[in-house]
Chain A
Amino acid sequence: MSKTLIEKIWDSHTVVDEGNGRSLLYVDRHLVHEVTSPQAFDGLRANKRKVRRTDLTFATMDHNVPTSNRSLPIVDQTSAMQVKALEKNCKEFGIELFDMNSPNQGIVHVIGPELGITLPGTTIVCGDSHTSTHGAFGALAFGIGTSDVEHVLATQCIWMEKPKTFEIRVEGKRKNPHTITAKDIILSIIRRIGTAGGTGTAFEYRGEAISDLSMEQRMTICNMSIEGGARAGLIAPDKKTFDYLRGRRYVPENYDKLVEYWEENLKTDSNARFDKSFTLHVDDIAPQVSWGTNPAMTVDVTGKVPFPDEYAKGNIEEEKAATKALQYMGLKPGTLVTEIELDRVFIGSCTNSRLEDLTEAAKVVKGKKVSSKIRAMIVPGSQHVKKQAEELSLDKIFKDAGFEWRESGCSMCLGMNPDILAAGERCASTSNRNFEGRQGAGGRTHLVSPVMAAAAAIEGHFVDVRELDLN
């Protein structure tokens, strides 16, 4: 029978099939971080349970960690407590931990691929909704709650309802891949299917425009699957995938044999059927800017902040939500996006903090100065990204322009550490969520690509990066 890649990975990981769509799946990789794990470890202790497969479990600290001087103690006592709890739990249960001082530390979804922990055809879970990122390597990867973290620690398995399969075809050629980025593609998709468009499904991204993307760009796309409502989103692995992973630290020794197996097995059969399908043509898409309080509330940079009824297209509830979003965002309908003035710029997060993101942003910034009214910050996704960027002197380009150059972590994507917006501050952010208060209570987030954020930092307002000379 013809199968999609999602179904193939599902079937090859089924330990128990209840026959009603629900299966017990084996988990190949479990990634753990400090925020969603302490209660899971407490549960294990209370029931005298062990971690079944410490060799398949990896931990790091990313959400809470300060991005300023790492040699100083964490000022926030509750953050410090969570970080300490993870250290203690990993030690007690025998889990490998990349702690704050490890050269491998970083955002969990940046370090997984970087260290070769993420592999094609695997199942990967983590107590974080952006686990979908790892789908870029042809893995079935999804976020789970803390109860499931405990369940996976204890059993190395997870009960799942089989998701419906949702084909997202991305066709055509971008006019300039330096200005129309992976971020613009995924925001364009979410804008069209809505934040609940993928509920109950897993995405498979396919098509010419997906094949054209680098691995880092594919990660940006898969990362935001959850913003379209899908728990997982994946891309069939190809030569780029295999080349990216070869030689990385945790890649198995029989790598070439694995590649042969992956090449043969990890693709959707030509006549396999998807439950749903959507196609985006990228030939004419523009850089995207979110204006509201969810990622579907997004327009072209050449566009205007919409009127609620225009956005809601007859849906009364959505219209109310849009009215409220405009009020929260302090925006008037009809305002040109390029006239929106900013206070802060954040380049970072599991969506856009990898080397290529920083390299592209640096091209915009080189030789220029950050607008005097803007505070701008670069937070590399991992210590490795930071080191590589410094070897390329990107840090110098950013610092000379007036950007803050930080240590790696989740930082202002969700502001659990000291990096937050003040109430009313407006930020161009390369992160994934523009929810109310996400970057700080009362803070206003506009989601954009790294080049759009970099250009906004220079000008003090949004600009259409297609007008810059970027090649």
Chain B
Amino acid sequence: MEPFKKISSIATPLDKVNVDTDQIIPKQFLKLIQKTGFGQYLFYDWRYEKDGTPRKDFVLNDSKYKNSKILLTRSNFGCGSSREHAAWALLDFGFKVVISTSFADIFFNNCFKNGILPIKVDEHILQKLFESKSEIEIDLEKQTIRNNDVNVSFHIEPHWKKILLEGLDDIAITLNYDDKISKYENVNRTSNPRAF
């Protein structure tokens, strides 16, 4: 995973609540067996007409936001299906940060696992960011969101911060606890009636 330090970009405003992962990546695109190439299908049913032409009224098709790395969206983003393809599609499209007031649990977790930083902010900060047109700087080390209109810090769990900053493989980290896992298995399998 690529380390995440600092990014600067204008933000793409997706002004919707309860965006579910079925919208982020519709089911017909879940059949690929690799992790790349999903960007072209991101928000597919909102992004394209039935004949495949881009919908003019959908924000991702606005050339202003072409190189945007930050997605702004409303509460409960990523609800529904656990499909990690949603995170892969956002990343493959170019988003490295998603800012909202709240996220669904599984999606939130899936973001970190793929080097995407999901940031929760208060409603009034989110509103300011939606209204602001200027470039936003996200500094993970300092945990800050800054632009002409906003200058706030954000919270991130220390382990996720470390994983993102260093681009770590979390399976390798867990395997450092191998002795503890083995011990748990041995104890449970010999002395506990829960054993199965």
B142 on the interface (CB 8 Å rule)? no
- CB of B73 to closest CB in A, whole Å: 11
A35 on the interface (CB 8 Å rule)? yes
Contact B33 A16 (CB under 8 A): no
Contact A155 B174 (CB under 8 A): yes
Known: A26-B181, A321-B16. A437 touches B194 (CB 8 A): no
Contact A196 B82 (CB under 8 A): no
One of A142-150, A279-287, A349-357, A380-388 contacting the partner: A142-150
Contact B31 A416 (CB under 8 A): yes
A65 on the interface (CB 8 Å rule)? no
Bound-complex Cα distance A18 to B102 (A): 24
B35 on the interface (CB 8 Å rule)? yes
Q: A423: which B residues are within 8 A, CB to CB?
A: 50
Beta-carbon contacts under 8 Å, A414-453 to B: 414-416, 423, 433, 435-438, 441-442
Bound-complex Cα distance A416 to B28 (A): 6
- CB of A16 to closest CB in B, whole Å: 5
B113 on the interface (CB 8 Å rule)? yes
Contact A145 B171 (CB under 8 A): no
Q: B195: which A residues are within 8 A, CB to CB?
A: 252
Contact of B171 among A39, A154, A252 (CB under 8 A): A154
Contact A435 B22 (CB under 8 A): yes
Q: A28: which B residues are within 8 A, CB to CB?
A: 196
Contact of B20 among A119, A154, A294 (CB under 8 A): A294
Q: B76: which A residues are within 8 A, CB to CB?
A: 195-196, 199, 229
- The listed residue with most A CB atoms (<10 A of its CB), out of B26, B82, B169, B185, is B82
Closest to B114 in A: A147
One of A79-87, A93-101, A102-110, A369-377 contacting the partner: A79-87
Contact A147 B177 (CB under 8 A): no
- CB of A260 to closest CB in B, whole Å: 8
Contact A438 B113 (CB under 8 A): no
Q: A317: which B residues are within 8 A, CB to CB?
A: 16-17, 74-75
Cβ contacts B21-37/A at 8 Å (1 or 0 each): 01100111011111100
Bound-complex Cα distance A119 to B185 (A): 17
A22 on the interface (CB 8 Å rule)? yes
Closest to A232 in B: B105
Contact B83 A36 (CB under 8 A): yes
Contact A231 B106 (CB under 8 A): yes
- CB of B16 to closest CB in A, whole Å: 7
Contact B27 A119 (CB under 8 A): no
Q: B31: which A residues are within 8 A, CB to CB?
A: 35, 64, 76, 78-79, 81-82, 416
Cβ contacts B163-175/A at 8 Å (1 or 0 each): 0000001110011
Contact of B177 among A15, A121, A321, A416 (CB under 8 A): A15
Bound-complex Cα distance A159 to B162 (A): 15
Q: A20: which B residues are within 8 A, CB to CB?
A: 157-158
Contact B82 A47 (CB under 8 A): no
Contact A229 B27 (CB under 8 A): no
B144 on the interface (CB 8 Å rule)? no
Beta-carbon contacts under 8 Å, A183-200 to B: 195-196, 199-200
Contact A129 B84 (CB under 8 A): no
Closest to B46 in A: A436
Q: A150: which B residues are within 8 A, CB to CB?
A: 171
Contact B106 A145 (CB under 8 A): yes
Contact B194 A121 (CB under 8 A): yes
Known: A39-B33, A195-B18, A438-B22. A15 touches B184 (CB 8 A): yes
Q: B170: which A residues are within 8 A, CB to CB?
A: 147, 151, 159
B80 on the interface (CB 8 Å rule)? yes
Closest to A18 in B: B159
Known: A257-B193, A321-B17, A435-B22. A38 touches B30 (CB 8 A): no
Bound-complex Cα distance A127 to B80 (A): 13
Which B residues are within 8 Å of any A CB, using their own CB?
15-18, 20, 22-23, 26-28, 30-35, 45, 50, 74-76, 79-85, 87, 102-106, 109-110, 113-114, 157-159, 169-171, 174-175, 177, 180-181, 184-185, 188, 193-196
Besides A78-B31, A294-B18, 12 new A-B residue pairs in contact (Cβ under 8 A), listed by A number: A15-B177, A26-B188, A38-B33, A47-B171, A146-B85, A148-B113, A156-B181, A294-B79, A318-B17, A320-B17, A435-B20, A435-B80
21 pairs, CB–CB < 8 Å, chain A vs chain B? A16-B177, A38-B33, A63-B30, A76-B31, A129-B81, A144-B106, A145-B87, A146-B85, A151-B171, A155-B181, A196-B76, A199-B102, A199-B104, A229-B79, A261-B193, A318-B17, A320-B17, A414-B27, A416-B28, A437-B26, A437-B45
Which A residues are within 8 Å of any B CB, using their own CB?
12, 15-16, 18, 20, 22, 24, 26, 28, 35-36, 38-39, 42-43, 47, 49, 52, 63-64, 76, 78-79, 81-82, 85, 119, 121-122, 127-129, 143-148, 150-151, 154-157, 159, 161, 195-196, 199-200, 226, 229, 231, 252, 254, 257-258, 260-261, 294, 317-318, 320-321, 324, 414-416, 423, 433, 435-438, 441-442
4 cross-chain pairs, A with B, having the tightest CB-CB distances, nearest first: A147-B113, A145-B84, A38-B33, A145-B110
